[in-house]
C-alpha cells in the first residue's frame, strides 16, 4: 500500500499503518489507522492462484474440465442433479470453508 500526500513523493505504508479484514463472503475491508502525511492511498494486489492455465494444480484443471463437460452434456436437462461428486472431490481442497 502506497501513501499519496497532497505534496511530495509517495511512500510505502508500513504493515502497522493499516489493517485488512476479510469477511466470510471473501470481501475485504481496509482501514488505514496511521496515514502519516497521506491524504489518499493506492493499493496494489494480485488475485488468483496461477498466472496461466498450465500453472494451475492438476486437480483444479481436471475439476474445471469435468465440470464443463458435465454442464455441456446436461445443458438441456432441467432435472440435472448437479455436478458429479468427482468434481467436488477434486476441487474440495481449494474451497473456502467456514465454521458457524
pLDDT digit string, tens, across residues 9-68: 999 999 899 998 877 666 778 889 999 999 999 988 777 788 889 999 999 999 999 999
**Residue 76 maps to a domain:** yes
The tally of domains found in the chain comes to: 2
The helix (H) or strand (E) run that includes residue 90 is helix 85-91
Q: Are residues 33 and 64 in the same domain?
A: no
Give the Å distances, CA to CA, from 5 to 17, 25, 45.
Answer: 15, 33, 21
**Residue 47 maps to a domain:** no
**Residue 26 maps to a domain:** yes
Distance separating alpha carbons of residues 22 and 43, to the nearest angstrom: 15
Domain hosting residue 85, numbered range: 53-94
Q: Are residues 57 and 38 in the same domain?
A: no
Q: Are residues 33 and 14 in the same domain?
A: yes
Distance separating alpha carbons of residues 36 and 55, to the nearest angstrom: 40
Q: Are residues 58 and 87 in the same domain?
A: yes
pTM: 0.51
Amino acid at each position: 500500500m502506497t501513501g499519496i500526500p497532497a505534496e511530495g513523493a509517495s511512500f510505502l505504508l508500513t504493515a502497522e499503518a493499516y489493517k485488512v479484514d476479510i469477511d466470510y463472503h471473501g470481501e475485504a475491508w481496509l482501514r488505514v489507522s496511521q496515514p502519516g502525511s497521506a491524504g489518499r492511498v493506492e493499493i496494489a494486489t494480485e488475485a488468483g492462484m496461477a498466472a496461466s492455465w498450465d500453472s494451475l494444480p492438476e486437480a483444479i484443471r481436471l475439476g474445471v474440465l469435468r465440470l464443463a463437460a458435465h454442464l455441456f452434456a446436461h445443458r438441456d436437462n432441467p432435472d440435472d442433479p448437479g455436478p458429479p461428486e468427482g468434481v467436488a472431490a477434486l476441487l474440495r481442497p481449494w474451497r473456502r470453508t467456514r465454521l458457524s
